[in-house]
Every structure is written in structure tokens, then in C-alpha cells.
Amino acid sequence: MILAPLNMSYLFKSALLVNLDPSRVERCDLLIADGKIIERGPTLEAREDEEIINLTGKIVMPGMTCAHTHLYSALARGMPAPPRTPTNFTEILELVWWRLDRALDEETIYWSAMAGAMDAARAGTTCLFDHHASPSHIRGSLQIVREAIEKVGLRAVLCYEVTDRGGSDERDRGLEENRSFLKWTKQSASSSPALFRGLVGAHASFTLNDESLSRCAELMREFDAGLHIHAAEDMCDVNDARDRHGLGVVERLAKHGALNNQTILAHGVHLSDEDIEIARAAGVWFAHNPRSNMNNQVGYAPVEKFGERVVLGTDGIGADMFEEARSAFFKGRDEGLNFGADAWLGVLSNNHRLASQTFGEDIGSLKPGSAADLIVLDYQSPTPLVSENLAWHFAFGINSAVVESVMVNGRFVIRDRRHALDNVYADSRKASEKLWAKLRSM
């Protein structure tokens, strides 16, 4: 069984169309063809070649975008415990994630990406900004990830994590992997549809020396690409930049020319006001990952100071943006943040703005001309759902369990809860047993 064919035309009848920012709920018909929304109106007439889908009682909204994730960690769920319990953030990296990513080979990179992308699709996430690491198999790894995401049917922005932690040879191969993927995306962008883009991936300031950072910046300039990097996730990053370089984390990135308006700074938990100011002036995106921050006990990010370009990521804890946004809302409440539920809908919309900027097309609005990246929800609410209370339904009701169908670029990836690939989890479990056996022997 293969995915639904391309070039199908669909007429969605009588759906409740939901726009996140501004909050708007409206019963409308939607015509979809050639990967785009062609027309929107109260009653559209079907033409002969269109499949009519009656969506009375269903919600249609833009597919979610995850602004920071690590598909390579998809097979980590329930994995063997590390040799000892980490006591701080650097030990979490050394004892958990840097052992896991080193254990990945061609096969387990592929099944991690398949499982992670399938989880994303089932949660209604149609676009992923992934940050990949597999130091034992660097060359070609992004194409393996790409192939898996393509099979699942999603849109994605990929990069390889450049770092000094494995020495200069691994660092060079990481740079080369970014270069080769960016080159590929530039070539394939001319052919339609192009569902993949690249960024320059880098781990974090504290694992990059000056030369490594400068070479990342060179790549950014060469391909007019942004940097995707963890910034001030933990105080260790801030202390390292100050002690070894006498600079703030962002100040150091700026000094090396590694900031631009396509750049994603993940976490930003401990960024100083000065660093935030420099980053905002450069127009970067701040990816807030509340569940990951809570899990790693690194602190609460100064979300209010991030301004207009704050986006949400999962940092590899699945790709369920309903759940991430809800956690962001509750954690914000707990921290006394002046963000109502509607502000988080605005942030989810920022994720769409990031995707739109990266792909150079309108993603995340249900207007004629925008990409047909949509999800259909079967949400049974005990109370009315209207424009004015939409955000509160997101905070207290709507969740990924109600995602019924998923469409990317005009093609059904999941239809009525069924994906064409029905064996992904069984195959992923086999791959994870292999990966875990390797971890136990390390």
C-alpha cells in the first residue's frame, strides 16, 4: 500500500475551520488541489474531478509545526538505564544522549526517524525542524532521515549537529554533512514539491571552539541558511562562554557571524538580557521547549523577553504540539507568566511563520494560496466552540487524540486514523532492541 496519490483534488464540505492567530472559527468549504488551498467559501460547488468529503461536525486546522526536535531519540523511550544516575545537565548529555547517538547506525537512524515521524504525523504535526546527531555514522545520515520522513509523508527542515566533542575529524564530517544536505536542498528546491530544507546544525557554544563556530558561520553565508543550535539551555553553556571567551553565549555567536533571521536558538533558559537583545536585533527565533526543560531541571526560560519570534519545540519528547503548548501554558501559569491561553495559540502560529519563512510559502493559514498542510479533528465538545473561546478549548480540551486525518502538501498522510504504512512500530521495536543491546555493551 502506498500513500494517497498526488494531484488529487478535494472539496471539504461544512468543516469548522480554525485559525489560530487571530483566533477564528468559521464554518466553510475548502477546495484543495495541487498541494494548495485553492478556494474557501460558505458553499463551494464541486467539479467533476474533485472528491467531496463531508466534514460536518469536524474541525479543520493547519497542521502543527515543531520548531526543535531530535528524531534520533525516538527509540530512547524506556531504554536501558545509564551506567549511573546523572546528577546535572552535562552528565545527562554524557551518560544518556551522547551514548545513545554514538550507538546509532544506518539502520537505527532510519527507524528512529520513521518512528519519530510517524508519532509526529499521528499527533497532527506536519512539519519538523530536526536536529540530528549520529557520530558513528555521519556521512549520508541526513539523507537517511529525509528518506524516512518522506516515506511517512511530512515536511521537514534538517541539520547535522556540529560539535567538537568527538574531535576535529568528526567535527569536519558534521560540517560536510550539513554542506551536502544544504546543497541537495538547493538543487531539489527547483523541482516541485520540495518538502525539505536545511539549516546549519551545531550543538552548543560550550562544545564548539572558535574555529568550529567560524566554519559554521561560513556555511551559513555560503548557503544563506540559519543556524540551529542549543543556547544557554543550562548554566554550563553560559559559564563556559564567559570563562573561556569572556562573552555571553549569543554575543559569542554574533562575534563569529553566526546569527541571522533564519537562526533557531533552542531553549535560551539562561540568556542574559544583553544576549536576548542581541539575538532579537538579529531577528532570530527562540525555541521554547518547556517539557524538556522541566525534565532536565534546567530552569524556566524568560519567554516574555523573547518577543515576537518565540516558537515551541519538543526537544525530542515526541512531536505532539497540542501537549507541548498545553504544558507551556500550565508551566507559564505556575511561573506567574503573563501569558493567557491565547498567547500560546499565537506562539503556535509563530511556528507556522517560521515554517513559512523557511519554505518561502504560506504555511499555516487556511487562505487560498497557502500550502494544504491540514489536519482534521473529531473533537466532541460539551460546550460551544467559537472564535472568542478557542484558546480555552486548546488549554483544556482539544488534544492530539482527536486528530483523525492529516494532509501534507495536498496529500493525505493519515486518513480516518489510518496511515498507509502499518508496520512502522513493529519494525521500530526490532530496531530498538538492536540499539539497546548495543547500549548495554558500551
Nearer of residues 101 and 315 to Zn ion, judged by Cβ: 315
Nearer of residues 258 and 376 to Zn ion, judged by Cβ: 258
Question: How far is Cα 379 from Cα 132, in angstroms, rounded to an integer?
Answer: 34
Nearer of residues 50 and 94 to Zn ion, judged by Cβ: 94
Q: How many CA atoms lie within 13 A of 29 on its CB side?
A: 16
Helix (H), strand (E) at residue 91: helix 89-92
Q: What is the DSSP string of 128-186?
A: EEE-B--TTS-TTHHHHHHHHHHHHT-EEEE-B-B-STT-HHHHHHHHHHHHHHHHHHH
Nearer of residues 201 and 346 to Zn ion, judged by Cβ: 201
In angstroms, what is the minimal distance from the CB of 287 to Zn ion?
A: 8
Nearer of residues 292 and 400 to Zn ion, judged by Cβ: 292
Q: Is 237 in the site for Zn ion (CB under 5 A)?
A: no
Q: Is 101 in the site for Zn ion (CB under 5 A)?
A: no
Instruction: Output the nine-digit C-alpha cell for 137.
Output: 555514522
HEC states along 345-376? HHHHHHHHHHHHHHHCCCCCCCCCCCECCEEE
Q: How many CA atoms lie within 13 A of 222 on its CB side?
A: 17
Q: Is 315 in the site for Zn ion (CB under 5 A)?
A: yes
In angstroms, what is the minimal distance from the CB of 207 to Zn ion?
A: 13
Nearer of residues 62 and 290 to Zn ion, judged by Cβ: 290
What 3-state class would DSSP assign to 334? helix
In angstroms, what is the minimal distance from the CB of 140 to Zn ion?
A: 22
In angstroms, what is the minimal distance from the CB of 293 to Zn ion?
A: 10
DSSP type of residue 73:
G
Q: What is the DSSP string of 99-134?
A: HHHHH--HHHHHHHHHHHHHHHHHTTEEEEEE-B--
Binding mask 390-409 for Zn ion (x = CB under 5 A): --------------------
Q: Which stretch binds Zn ion (CB under 5 A): 73-81, 176-184, 245-253, 310-318?
A: 310-318
Q: Which stretch binds Zn ion (CB under 5 A): 136-144, 275-283, 311-319, 429-437?
A: 311-319
Question: How far is Cα 167 from Cα 68, in angstroms, rounded to an integer?
Answer: 25
Question: How far is Cα 15 from Cα 376, in angstroms, rounded to an integer?
Answer: 9
Q: Which stretch binds Zn ion (CB under 5 A): 273-281, 313-321, 355-363, 417-425?
A: 313-321
Question: How far is Cα 205 from Cα 199, in angstroms, rounded to an integer?
Answer: 17
In angstroms, what is the minimal distance from the CB of 237 to Zn ion?
A: 12
Nearer of residues 240 and 315 to Zn ion, judged by Cβ: 315
In angstroms, what is the minimal distance from the CB of 315 to Zn ion?
A: 4
In angstroms, what is the minimal distance from the CB of 288 to Zn ion?
A: 12
Q: Which stretch binds Zn ion (CB under 5 A): 6-14, 280-288, 314-322, 344-352?
A: 314-322
* C-alpha dihedral, 378 to 371 to 197 to 342, nearest 10°: -60
In angstroms, what is the minimal distance from the CB of 161 to Zn ion?
A: 9
What 3-state class would DSSP assign to 226? coil
Helix (H), strand (E) at residue 344: helix 341-359
C-beta nearest to Zn ion: residue: 315
In angstroms, what is the minimal distance from the CB of 303 to Zn ion?
A: 17
Nearer of residues 153 and 313 to Zn ion, judged by Cβ: 313
Nearer of residues 315 and 324 to Zn ion, judged by Cβ: 315
Q: Which stretch binds Zn ion (CB under 5 A): 177-185, 309-317, 360-368, 384-392?
A: 309-317
Nearer of residues 153 and 316 to Zn ion, judged by Cβ: 316
In angstroms, what is the minimal distance from the CB of 233 to Zn ion?
A: 7
Nearer of residues 119 and 315 to Zn ion, judged by Cβ: 315
Q: Which stretch binds Zn ion (CB under 5 A): 16-24, 188-196, 308-316, 414-422?
A: 308-316
User: Which residues, 6 or more positions from 425, have their beta carbon under 8 angstroms from its beta carbon?
Assistant: 115, 118
In angstroms, what is the minimal distance from the CB of 317 to Zn ion?
A: 10
CA-based diameter of the chain, in Å?
69
Phi-psi region of 301 (alpha: psi -120 to 50; beta: other; left: phi over 0): beta
Residue with cell 558534521: 174
Binding residue count for Zn ion, defined by CB under 5 A: 1
Residues near Zn ion (CB under 5 A) are 315
